[in-house]
Structure 1
């Protein structure tokens, strides 16, 4: 699903206009007469660090795992979709959001950084109402703070989202998430400086009979920079998840395969002259042994004694043939 287009902020428009006006003056002429733009090493934009393929895989895995997070509230497992990760300044992101919003700042121990879970108030109200038996619908409200019940729902949801993130990240590296603080005002978010770059991962939750809801997870770019090479690589997991239900289904399927069992009653010998002279009604003398062999796929596995049970021919297993 393509990301929704967003409007440029006032700062971006001013920078764009200023860049167009200053462009001719920034050009210099090379020895060949071509116009070139001066470049200072170390002044590159950290947002141009490449395509984080592994982060996309982590977000897709997170979408599958996080479906169960909303099951207690919505009484269904909604479909969750991930938008492509977007790199932008924190000021730019903050200006695009309302001040009243649920913010959960979580520390990532192994990366020595934080991530921020941002959930809009209408989604929190919908989850709270549905959690306590109400309908899955948006409730109009003009409040600027959450109730104690909504704060409890926020705590449940964000803790479970962190657990889902931990499972989604473990194929790349094991991470530990510990909640540091929760805020209700974007202006009071003690996350990163305004001009710092963040990686914005947006997720959309499909709701029954209601408009889709969304929430964001922000990673500071400096936090992900130490593992940028891993995030850009085509992630190959060395972790094998032991799915017991799959093993059980596979075992039942294998055990249900039908096998043809044959009993070797006797092996009479006859001369070729007699074989060519056989006709209908002739009798071939045969000596039946006390035990017979059971063949599976042409190989003898058991010895058995022939008999009958309830008027039907049967074989009683007496010995297993090893080798």
Structure 2
């Protein structure tokens, strides 16, 4: 018990601290081996920024969506990426506007659910546009849900969006977007725990007289099994993304006018013979009557052919390709 301070010693020590006579700071050096905490859900976290394929998927998605929504509405619809970030689901969930069209779907074959959010005003603007309106949503949305007709139209738009999202994934990984259900209250759209990291793509959608937002929210745990594929930034090289462009280019190429010419034969003469040529002279060609002529396409020899006549006009009959030899 010799190391236990008496009450008198305790009082003396406390009095010394109060008067500043007892030093309370220590001179123990801080360790240089401390560990800094890192927030993996911050915008700079090692999720979406280390998976460039997600960015390319979004770019394709935007391209597909512009065409599909414009075709569906019969008017020009602009779509652009407003933001792309990784965030805690709880934080994202609190930012969801009310009301909204909350569409829960699966990205098969992966586990878990993803969420498509259509801002309420945007959903109503689509409905107005399809009913011949100007797409300017002046509706007071507080507490307002969707009628059965409105829900049916919004459902068709959601299907277009999910189909295009599935197409956008095609060259990275074959997936199927399967619609599960639709909600208007965020508390019924909790697809994962509040602390889980989600990848959120926010898109700006421009109708003729209205602009709104939609968001695609995917839990990181859902796509984690293919993180190595998503780290690859070269999926776009063989993309179906521009299959529409490819088809257009092929169509235009088929309409291009091509010059073709045929050489029946050749002859070699001297300069003196050339200078003495006159009308009526006959040149003997090096080719025999059975030798094929050469058919050129834009100056490039492509076919072997035999000359003749057809419908009272000079003609050639193709016998084979020169590069087959």
Normalising by the smaller structure, the TM-score range is 0.7 to 0.9
CA 1:127–1:291: 2 relative to 1, 3 Å: same
State the distance in 2 between where 1:182 and 1:273 align.
Answer: 88
Q: CA, structure 1 residues 258+185, in 2 after alignment: closer, same or farther (shift >3 Å)?
A: same
Distance 2:111 2:180 in 1: 13
Decide whether the 8 Å contact of 2:98 with 2:120 is kept in 1: no
Unaligned 5+ segments in structure 1 are 1-27
Aligned match of 1:38: 35
Q: Structure 1 residue aligned with 2:254, among 222, 226, 251? A: 251
Change (3 A) 1:237 1:125: closer
Contact 2:88 2:195 in 1 (8 A): yes
Is the 8 Å Cα contact of residues 122 and 137 (structure 2) preserved in structure 1? yes
1:275 — aligned with what?
273
**Cα shift at 1:117:** 0.4
Q: Give a deviation string over 1:114-167, Cα, whole Å, max 9, x none.
A: 110001111111111111112221222234211112211221111111111110
Which residue of 2 is the match for residue 133 of structure 1?
132
Q: Deviations over 1:242-277 (max 9, x none)?
A: 644433333333xx221233444x96x97x69739x
How is 1:202-221 mapped onto 2 (pairs within 5 angstroms)? 202-210=202-210, 212-221=211-220
- Cα deviation, residue 302, structure 1: 2.9
Q: 5+ residue gaps in structure 2? A: 1-28
Pair 55,140 (structure 1): closer, same or farther in 2 beyond 3 Å: same
Deviation of 1:204 after TM superposition, in Å, equals 0.8
Match of residue 108 from structure 1: 107
- Checking the alignment, whether the CA contact within 8 Å between 2:134 and 2:209 is kept in structure 1 is no
Q: Which has the larger radius of gyration?
A: 2
**Aligned residues of 1:72 and 1:131 also touching (Cα < 8 A):** no
Distance across 2 between alignment mates of 1:321 and 1:221: 58
Question: Residues of 2 paired with 1:290 and 1:193: CA distance?
Answer: 86
Query: RMSD value over aligned CA atoms?
Result: 3.6
- Higher mean alpha-carbon deviation, 64-73 vs 186-195, is at 64-73
State the match for 1:184 in structure 2. Answer: 184
Deviates more, 1:147-156 or 1:187-196: 187-196
Structure 2 equivalent of residue 315 of structure 1:
314
Deviations along 1:270-313, one digit per CA (max 9) or x if unpaired, are 7x69739x65869746679989964434968333347995xxxx
Q: After the TM superposition, which residues 148-167 of structure 1 pair with which residues of structure 2 at under 5 Å, given as runs?
A: 148-167=148-167
Distance 1:319 1:198 in 2: 63
Aligned pairs for 1:292-311 within 5 A: 294-297=293-296, 301-305=304-308, 309=312
Seen in structure 2, the aligned counterparts of structure 1 residues 114 and 284 have a Cα distance that, compared at 3 Å, is same
Task: Give the stretch that moved more between structures: 81-90 or 233-242.
Answer: 233-242
C-alpha distance in structure 2 between counterparts of 1:58 and 1:75, whole Å: 25
1:7 corresponding residue in structure 2: none
Query: What is the count of residue pairs matched by the alignment?
Result: 280
**Map of 2:22 onto structure 1:** none
Aligned to 1:57: 56
Q: Given that residues 73 and 127 in structure 1 are in contact (C-alpha distance below 8 angstroms), is that contact kept between their aligned partners in structure 2?
A: no
